Amino acid sequence: MKKQQRDNLLISFFKEKEKYKTLAEYFVRLIRDDPSAPKESIHTILYRIKDESRLIEKIDQENMNSEFDITPITHKNFHERIGDIIGIRIICLRLSDIVKVEAYLKFLVEENLLKFIQKPDYKRSFVLPIGLGKVSPQNINLQYSGYSSIHYQIKLGENSDVSETFKSIQIELQLRTILEEAWGEIDHKYRYSYSRIGEAFPEHIHSGFYNLSAYLQAAAMQAEQLCREVEAHRLTKSLKLKRNKKRSGSPEYESKEQINGPVDPLEVSSALKSVLEETFGFKPTARTLTYIIKRLNKLEYSQRSKRFFHKIFTKRRLNEFRNIYQEVFKRDPFTNDNNRNIDIINAVNFALFDEIEGTMVATEGLRSTLKWRKDRLSI
């Protein structure tokens, strides 16, 4: 790249850099602040803006490898052609957490809060020919096949509360386990970064890093199995305690969770669905229902009758919610299509707090939550 081209590109990049940082922080905040996000499945969310020297290097490489009939990448179009200027990484503790975060991202796409520019790219460091929870055979064959992560190329969707300028910027989103993250960081610092600039290493170093990846991936499988065993042990212990309480005169009601374990958030009872639609006047999204069911599961309310839910979501509580909402936002709840599902979540939490903790605690909790929502920065 000629000096003038480089200077023009760097000037353009530096002018836009603050915008990239603002968008990255908004996306991280979107997940951290979303009450329906599977926070129990997310260990860390990180972001980075591409280093300018690496950006120049990548543009030079792309231009050299492109066909003659493709317009070169310049300071005028680099933000459209380079898809990983903003990189966001979601790190999970367990393999099963990855599945939950994937499902959550699909919910965001269904609500047009996110757009997948292309299908997720599953990059696996090895192929493990057994299922979760299965005993690994003695002659297991671990085959290394490169970098390990799930990659998404995304943009913010039309229903996100950002300006059109931000909706046009691409983001590379990576989803991986904490053990994949450990290997990636070690490999990047001690092998990949040198190999990328042409430094040659003996084959045993490369194979050693590949073996390390396989060990860590096998450890991830073992960690998942151990976590499941801990959960099964705690559930069995909990069920025994509940059965003993029932024998000693506890309430007759026994939930589906007590019999079969935690209720699948997607298996929402028809009674709850019906009451929510009657109460709020529209169908909550799958993401909102998932959150509400998880809340109710913790309280062992999820499989109760329609009559029970009507006692929770009363007109008095709904009117109190509306009054506090109007006090904070100076408008009615549920009127903005982009916000009405978060309004439902706030209303449900208010009703549950009122039922369990009393009106004074519920009122102050709601007022605090809504003020926080109002003060939250938007871009």
Q: Are residues 172 and 301 in the same domain?
A: no
pLDDT of amino acid 27? 93
Cβ burial, residue 185 (10 Å; 0-12/13-18/19+): exposed
> 311, 354 in Cβ contact below 8 A?
no
**Whether pLDDT at 91 is above 70:** yes
SS3 label, residue 173: strand
**Whether pLDDT at 117 is above 80:** yes
Residue 268 lies in a domain: yes
pLDDT of amino acid 249? 60
Domain of residue 348 covers 258-375
Residue 209 lies in a domain: no
Domain boundary among 143, 178, 213: 178
**Whether pLDDT at 370 is above 90:** yes
Q: Are residues 22 and 161 in the same domain?
A: yes
Domain boundary among 128, 145, 178: 178
pLDDT tens digits along 96-111: 999 999 999 999 999 9
pLDDT tens digits along 214-227: 888 888 888 889 99
Q: Are residues 126 and 22 in the same domain?
A: yes
Residue 208 lies in a domain: no
Q: What is the share, in percent, of the chain residues with pLDDT greater than 70?
A: 85
Residue 23 lies in a domain: yes
| Average pLDDT over the chain, rounded to an integer | 84
Residue 148 lies in a domain: yes
Nearest to 11, CA basis, from 75, 94, 69: 75
**Whether pLDDT at 204 is above 80:** yes
Q: What is the DSSP string of 122-166?
A: EE-SEE--S-TTPPPPTT---EE-S--EEEEEEEE-TTSSS-HHH
Over residues 280-291, the mean pLDDT reads 90
Residue 215 lies in a domain: no
- Whole-number Å distance between alpha carbons of 101 and 91: 10
pTM of the model: 0.79
**Whether pLDDT at 124 is above 80:** no
CATH number at residue 174: 3.30.460.10
Domain boundary among 178, 205, 239: 178
pLDDT of amino acid 132? 47
**Whether pLDDT at 278 is above 60:** yes
64 or 318, which is more confident? Answer: 318
CB atoms within 10 A of CB 260: 11
Residue 185 lies in a domain: no
Q: Are residues 150 and 270 in the same domain?
A: no
pLDDT of amino acid 378? 57
**Whether pLDDT at 135 is above 80:** no
DSSP 8-state code for residue 192:
I
Residue 47 lies in a domain: yes
Number of domains in the chain: 2
Alpha helices for the chain (secondary structure H)? 3-33, 52-65, 78-81, 95-110, 164-167, 178-187, 193-196, 203-247, 256-260, 270-280, 286-299, 306-312, 315-329, 340-356, 359-375
> 106, 37 in Cβ contact below 8 A?
no
Written as six digits, the tokens of 93 are 């503790």
